[in-house]
């Protein structure tokens, strides 16, 4: 993964929801070109942060047997810019789509209590061991949730 966009996981409940934090630092290289002289976090990377958070939900809920891969963004609304220095509170909730039987997720990102993005997306589970080392990801999750002293 080029960008690891979840800095901390603050809460989660297996199979239901997960919440975390993305800190936007001026030193992040994507801000250099988006936009020169007016740095703004790209909306696609904000969406990616929510998808990564969903991956952690699926991993932790499956004892690190599965990961999430987004397949379709059903609806996405942006409500403002995310700037360097912002602490973005991100959360994802799992929903069932009764029409398709697929897992669907609703993501929300806020800064200082103000909504910045709301998105509904779906996808599939992949075996985690086909894309990452399971034990490394388990340890990384412990760091993100502060279960492991660093």
pLDDT tens per residue across span 32-46? 888 888 999 999 999
**What is the pTM (predicted TM-score) of this model?**
0.94
| Residues labelled as active-site residues | 34
SS3 34: coil
| pLDDT band, very low/low/confident/very high, at 103 (cuts 50, 70, 90) | confident
| pLDDT band, very low/low/confident/very high, at 101 (cuts 50, 70, 90) | low
In a domain, 1, yes or no: no
- What is the CATH classification number for the domain harbouring 113? 3.10.129.10
SS3 41: coil
Number of domain units in the chain: 1
φ, ψ of residue 54 in degrees (nearest 5): -65, -40
The pLDDT, as a whole number, for residue 148 is 64
The domain of 24 spans 8-144
In a domain, 126, yes or no: yes
The pLDDT, as a whole number, for residue 36 is 86
pLDDT in tens, 61-83: 999 999 999 999 999 999 999 99
Question: What is the average pLDDT across 95-102?
Answer: 71
DSSP 82-139: --TT-EEEEEEEEEE-TTT--EEEEEEEEETTEEEEEEEEEEEEEEGGGTS-HHHHHH
In a domain, 2, yes or no: no
């Amino acid at each position: 993964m080029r960008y690891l966009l979840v800095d901390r996981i603050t809460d989660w409940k297996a199979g239901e929801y997960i919440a975390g934090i993305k800190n936007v630092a001026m030193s992040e290289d994507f801000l250099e070109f988006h936009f020169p002289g007016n740095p703004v976090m790209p909306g696609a990377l904000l969406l990616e942060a929510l998808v990564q958070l969903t991956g952690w939900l699926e991993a932790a809920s499956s004892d690190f047997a599965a990961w999430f891969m987004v397949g379709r963004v059903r609806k996405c609304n942006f409500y403002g810019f995310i700037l360097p220095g912002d602490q973005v509170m991100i959360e994802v909730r799992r929903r069932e789509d009764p029409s398709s039987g697929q897992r669907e997720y609703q993501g929300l990102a806020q800064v200082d209590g103000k909504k910045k993005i709301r998105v509904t997306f779906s996808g599939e589970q992949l075996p985690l061991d086909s894309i990452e080392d399971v034990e490394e990801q388990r340890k990384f999750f412990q760091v993100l949730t502060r279960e492991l002293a660093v």
